[in-house]
Amino acid sequence: MQLLKDKILKEGRVLSDTVLKVDSFLNHQIDPLLMKEIGEEFANRYSDEVITKILTIESSGIAPATMLGLVIGAPVVFARKRKSLTLADNLYSSKVHSFTKNETNEISVSRDFLSPDDNVLIIDDFLANGEAVKGLLDIAQQAEANVIGVGIVIEKGFQQGGQLLREQGIRVESLANIKSLANGQVEFFD
């Protein structure tokens, strides 16, 4: 997706060989026009599938997932990282480790929102080591839902997450796949 790649090159900041900061349009401030295009692109890439639910994780996956939901008319369910008084029981839960934040969180989704009748598309902002996606896959599996694939806004293709998912036979569609962040430069796979 050229529009996204251009935005990454223009506004993204390489903080290290493994960290790309995109908070001006994806992780803190959200560019709604770009998110609209991202939602449409995911809809096009998965137009051969019947999607009944979109599953993501709070918080940066919510914007692209919601735009996709708007395009295809499917509800968006997001896994919460923190328990609340209104989300205390009747849950699917999984543990997810964030290498960026160096912390492990238990993520949860109410059993009311995922079922064996669902065809689920998982959406997330980044794919690096695949921990968040693995947690979401675990939750979908607990619900006995059918996962039709994974949509990623930015994949760090130089890390193992995408490869491990594809080796498991999971369809992964990444809108921008980064080959390297070496020397402060973003290089994409073709």
Ligand-binding annotation for 176, yes or no, is no
Q: How far apart are CA 176 and CA 165, in angstroms?
A: 17
pLDDT on residue 19: 94
User: What's the total number of domains in the chain?
Assistant: 1
Does 80 map to a domain? Answer: yes
Ligand-binding annotation for 182, yes or no, is no
pTM of the entire structure? 0.95
Does 14 map to a domain? Answer: no
Ligand-binding annotation for 12, yes or no, is no
Tell me which residue range forms the domain holding 172.
32-179
Does 188 map to a domain? Answer: no
Ligand-binding annotation for 20, yes or no, is yes
Domain with residue 151: its CATH number is: 3.40.50.2020
Does 115 map to a domain? Answer: yes
**pLDDT block averages, 10 residues each, the chain of length 190:** 97 96 93 97 98 94 97 97 70 88 89 97 96 97 98 97 97 98 95
